[in-house]
Structure 1
Amino acid sequence: MVAFIDANKDDVVEGRPLGVEPICTLLQVAPSTYYAAKDRAPSARAVSDSVLTPELVTLWKAARRAGLDIGRNQTCWLMRAAGIEGAIRTKRVKTTRPDPASARHPDLVRRECTATAPHRLWVTDLTFVPTWASVATSASSSTRTRG
């Protein structure tokens, strides 16, 4: 926003410079917001990016000179194959991997999920659903419907 306003505030319309306030009005931004953003020191991320960008451009040019024409998808595939991870955008779900040698919980119903009477046998299934809420369901095996 600041760069856009700075680039266009000196444009001449009807013989007069446009100025900051008319552009802010058009963008529905208060002029104080523009001045606050203009006076604000760059964030740590912006400073880090400004240091890393020239290095990244150097690496990219060196790869191009070496004849490496690699696209984004191929880069991702090769990084995955090499076990290299870039910045993780979302939290990955890491499920437990059971140890085959460890003791198992006993199967108390011996895989027989038919109840002899109502409310005599309860079963449950825990399934991970990628939402903000945890979900656990249980039902009596005598009242469930068969499909």
Structure 2
Amino acid sequence: MVVRFIDDHRDRFGVEPICRVLTQHGVKIAPSGYYAFKKRPASARAVSDAELVVQIERVFWDRKLGRGISGARKIWRLLAREDIVVARCTVERLMRRQGLRGIRRGKQFITTRPDDAAPRAEDRVKREFYADRPNELWVVDFT
């Protein structure tokens, strides 16, 4: 996030002045650290994730395989069928990052329906949940 900020503003202010101001405001970053980060090659996990995302999206959107409706478990099994060895939690993580979700069947149940006409308890804390000492403030919710 800090590197992206520096990238966005480096043409206008320069890297060294931005790092100096950020350090004064509590975000300690040296210009050498910024340049080292920019030159560092991608990690092995990032490289393998990029390759896996291509395979996951291919399987997910394939009309005969995932059809755009399969979840992580089915995508994981389809990848294993094609001899692509990957952990299921990795498939879940990458699908979540890409915004890919399976379709849920059946009715979505709503377990709690609030009654707007029901009386509400008074807010005695005024939404401030900080106590100066122990046993000064007790908050209980017994729904």
Q: TM-score band, normalised by the shorter chain?
A: 0.3 to 0.5
- State the TM-score, normalizing by the size of structure 1: 0.37
Larger Rg: 1
Between 1 and 2, higher relative CO (CA 8 Å, sep ≥ 6) is seen in: 2
Higher strand share: 1
TM-score (normalizing by structure 2): 0.37
Judging by fraction of residues, say which structure has more helix.
2
